[in-house]
Amino acid sequence: MCGTPPLEKLPLFLRVIEDFLQKEGLKTLTWRFYPGSYAPMEAPLWYFVMQQAGYQQKIVELNQHIPIRAEAFEAGLHSTARRKYRKLREAGFACLQLSEPDWAAVHTFVARARQRQGYPISLSSEALEKLAHTFPQDFLVFEVLSSHAERAAMGVLIRINAQILYHFYPADEEKFLSYSPSILLNGGMYEFGQAQGHTQLDLGISTEQGQLNEGLWYFKHQLGAQNSLKITFGKSLTKS
């Protein structure tokens, strides 16, 4: 939903959709917006129009992203993350893009890491592989290997458009947590974005149903991430 009709047409646009859905028997309508950083000029306009049309904010999530600039990834890191980044490189860790990912193995690695953290995985192995095969140019996999070629971290990178990359399903191996290999993983994705002309690496939300995960937010903050809002609006379509 990054495109926006002219301002004067937005209320009509919403009414047409609401009228159609009412005729189809739907009782509520929910709009889940993209992070505000995707379209910083358009997002506030949408939020204003939605509230004017009677929509209520249902969930407000805090999203974080790293602007991809001409400067090296390390230049944007805060001091603690910079020390760990250098430690990883000095220890022989490297971030690589997989040319032919084994999607079942990717899913297994990610699911294991998320289970350790107490989070479910939103896609089945079959669903992830189907998406990857449907959009082979837009679903990429990066991994961090130790100096002994052991997998320390892995992440799925989704190309949203020509400007934005989304780090989907970041995961790490427990035995390497003291090294924070995810820092190098994000660095590899950042460098890929630089080479491809992208301007933003979306790291996803750092909240769950609007509740801040302080540890996750701080980790991304140390990477130089900036904040934006990701808002879900809702409205009842039943006339009182």
Render pLDDT for 197-207 as a digit per residue (tens, 0 to 9).
Answer: 999 999 999 99
Question: Rounded to an integer, what distance in angstroms lies between the CA atom of residue 55 and that of residue 232?
Answer: 10
Q: Are residues 110 and 53 in the same domain?
A: no
Three-state secondary structure readout of 100-115: CCCHHHHHHHHHHHHH
Residue 1 confidence (pLDDT) above 50: no
Question: Rounded to an integer, what distance in angstroms lies between the CA atom of residue 81 and that of residue 95?
Answer: 16
Q: Are residues 83 and 193 in the same domain?
A: yes
Q: Are residues 31 and 53 in the same domain?
A: yes
Q: Are residues 85 and 183 in the same domain?
A: yes
Tell me if residue 228 falls in helix, strand or coil: strand
pLDDT bin (cut points 50, 70, 90) of residue 78 is: very high
Q: Is 90 left (phi over 0), alpha (psi -120 to 50) or beta?
A: alpha
We report the CATH number of the domain holding residue 103 as 3.40.630.30
Percent helix, strand and coil across the chain, each rounded to 5? 40, 30, 30
Range of the domain at 76: 69-198
Q: Are residues 100 and 122 in the same domain?
A: yes
Mean pLDDT is lowest, of 6-20, 94-108, 188-202, for: 6-20
Please tell me the predicted confidence (pLDDT) of residue 5.
59
Stretch 62-77: mean pLDDT, rounded?
98
| Between 2 and 54, the higher pLDDT residue | 54
Residue 35 confidence (pLDDT) above 70: yes
Q: Report the chain's mean pLDDT, rounded to a whole number.
A: 95
Quote the pTM value.
Answer: 0.93
Q: Phi and psi at residue 143, in whole multiples of 5°?
A: -140, 155
Q: Are residues 57 and 126 in the same domain?
A: no
DSSP assignment of 140-164: EEEEEE-TTS-EEEEEEEEE-SSSE
Quick: pLDDT tens for 133-173: 999 999 999 999 999 999 999 999 999 999 999 999 999 99
Stretch 202-228: mean pLDDT, rounded?
97
Tell me if residue 61 falls in helix, strand or coil: strand
Query: Per the domain annotation, does 80 fall within a domain?
Result: yes
Q: Count structural domains, the chain.
A: 2
Q: Are residues 27 and 78 in the same domain?
A: no
CB 182 within 8 A of CB 215: no
Query: Per the domain annotation, does 97 fall within a domain?
Result: yes
Helices (H), ranges, the chain: 10-23, 43-52, 79-90, 103-117, 125-134, 181-196, 214-222
Tell me if residue 8 falls in helix, strand or coil: helix
Q: Are residues 83 and 171 in the same domain?
A: yes
Kindly state the tokens that stand for 55: 């929509």
**Residues 6 or more apart whose Cβ sits within 8 Å of residue 26:** 237
Residue 79 confidence (pLDDT) above 90: yes
Stretch 79-86: mean pLDDT, rounded?
98
CB 111 within 8 A of CB 123: no
Q: Are residues 81 and 58 in the same domain?
A: no
Buried b (16+ CB within 10 A) or exposed e, 157-185: bbbeeeebbbbbbbbbbeebeebbbbbbb
% of the chain residues with pLDDT over 70: 97
| CB burial of residue 194 (10 Å; 0-12, 13-18, 19+) | middle
Q: Are residues 42 and 124 in the same domain?
A: no
Query: Per the domain annotation, does 179 fall within a domain?
Result: yes
| CB burial of residue 55 (10 Å; 0-12, 13-18, 19+) | buried
